[in-house]
Amino acid sequence: MSVSQNLATLSVSKLAPLIYSRQISPVELTQEVFHQIEAVEPLVNAYITILKQQALADAHAAEYNILKGNYLGPFHGIPIGLKDMIKTRGIRTTAGSAILANCITNYDASCVVRLRQAGAILVGKQNCHEFAFGSTNNNLTFGPVHNPWNLEYIPGGSSGGSAAAVSASECIAAIGTDTGGSVRNPAACCGIVGLKPTYDRASTCGVFPLSWSMDTLGLLTKTVTDAALTLQIVAGYDPFDITTSSRPVPDYTSGIEDGIKGLLVGIPRNYFFDRIDSEVKERVESAIHMLTNLGAIPVEITLPNVELSLLCTYTIIFAEASSCHEPLLQNWANLYSPDVRLYLESGESLTATKYLKAQRLRTLIKQSLNSIMEHVDVIVAPTVPSPAVKIGQNSVVINGQVESITDAMFRYTCPFNLSGQPSLAVPCGFSENGLPISLQIVGRPFDEKTVLRVGRAFEASTKWHSIQPALNSIIKD
């Protein structure tokens, strides 16, 4: 394989063998990533903090260790980014807020510890919607993130900086957070892969909380195989996080290329196809047809109570977020962005009765979904009902009905945060104006392997993941 192209545009699974065989060095790769950052970051604004000096020092250390025969695995020498909700020792973690603009902790989040142990190179902390509480990434303190496919459009959120950085090849992979869809909807908007694992599969210790019962670590990558490789590192029990499961972690890449012949694929015709942009519906229907051609067996299903997911999600998140932010809100309310402050103050008005009713409803939705999963291997649906919208746009019209951007971005993803199921967003086409469209694949709890296998089968049979924004050729010559 030629390595003369821009290395920053390659996936982990392509770069790792080149690093291992010493055809390229971590220093060379990291330098190319920073060339890309320097070229496109003024346009995209994906980063809050860039760590060039430290990253290059780490790249030299990785190169030395690999030359000494101490290769740590596929992420050794790979430049990655972190959503700025994830705490890092000696490096500021702002959570995208003026309140924490200079906040520096003396420890790494558990996922950062594992990534460092795997040899990954941190190139920077990425822009996000303030305190991860929103869907547009229109950050008032650090500026909005721009979608690499069209700079006038949002990248989705709240992990929009991380998704935009991967899409624009400003890092090879990134770690975000997903509470109601905050990894999958930006992955959809930016034309990349986004994986929300099972709720208690990966530790959130050291991640600034939004909603303790919903927050999930999320992965943003260029390919499905890269998502599997990343999950392999961050998955597993963490003694510092009581919510993590002690279940053994399987080899997520084993069997990922086995195909999907005979798998039962559930298609939820209610809710997910009731109010949807016509282009999104067409691309998703084509994706389902492709899965059928690959040997999967389509099964029409109905998801009971799913239409109540958005209200249930908002009640739980608003209440829990207000609890988390109570001391900050009491002392620095004026420093919050207006939208986030409104959400938090709305959460303060929720009664314990409403919160408990929402949690009971959540149990009902979870039970309904678990029941459906007894009859299918995965569920496939759109990730979001429309492509990205323009920066500053507050609402969208879908099939003649106006709804807020936040409702639209989270409507199809939040049911699976309530249930805690693994969910994968994969590119499945483009709108007529060149914006990405995404397919969502949902599995049984702790069955990420099947979700990844279906995603990989679709990816291997289509071209969508290999198409990159024009920005990625900006330094090609």
> Given this model, what pLDDT does residue 438 score?
98
The reported pLDDT for the residue numbered 404 is 96
d(CA 132, CA 136): 10
Pairing of strands 193-196, 423-430: antiparallel
Q: Which residues contact 64 (CB under 8 A, 6 or more apart)?
A: none
- pLDDT at residue 237, rounded to an integer: 98
Residues 143, 126 contacting (CB under 8 angstroms):
no
Give CA–CA dist 36/250, Å, rounded: 35
Cis peptide bond prior to 158, omega within 30° of 0: yes
pLDDT of residue 470: 86
* Nearest Cα to Cα of residue 327 among 307, 350, 310, 348: 348
Q: What is the pLDDT of residue 475?
A: 56
CB neighbour class for 354 (10 Å; exposed up to 12, middle 13-18, buried from 19): middle
pLDDT of residue 1: 37
* Torsion on CA atoms 458, 464, 466, 468, rounded to nearest 10: -150
Which residues belong to the active site? 83, 158, 182
Is the pTM higher than 0.85? The answer reads yes
Which CATH number does the domain 8-473 belong to among 3.40.50.300, 3.90.1300.10, 1.10.1670.10, 3.40.50.1820? Answer: 3.90.1300.10
Buried b (16+ CB within 10 A) or exposed e, 287-312: bbebbeebebeeeebebebbebbbeb
| Contact yes or no for 161/84 (Cβ under 8 A) | yes
Q: What are the domain boundaries of the chain?
A: 8-473
Distances (CA, A) of 429 to 391, 395, 435: 22, 23, 8
Q: How many Cβ atoms are within 10 Å of 389's Cβ, its own excluded?
A: 21
Each residue's pLDDT, cut to its tens digit, for the chain (477 residues) gives 344 579 999 999 999 999 999 999 999 999 999 999 999 999 999 999 999 999 999 999 999 999 999 999 999 999 999 999 999 999 999 999 999 999 999 999 999 999 999 999 999 999 999 999 999 999 999 999 999 999 999 999 999 999 999 999 999 999 999 999 999 999 999 999 999 999 999 999 999 999 999 999 999 999 999 999 999 999 999 999 999 999 999 999 999 999 999 999 999 999 999 999 999 999 999 999 999 999 999 999 999 999 999 999 999 999 999 999 999 999 999 999 999 999 999 999 999 999 999 999 999 999 999 999 999 999 999 999 999 999 999 999 999 999 999 999 999 999 999 999 999 999 999 999 999 999 999 999 999 999 999 999 999 999 999 999 988 776 544
Give the per-residue pLDDT at 5: 73
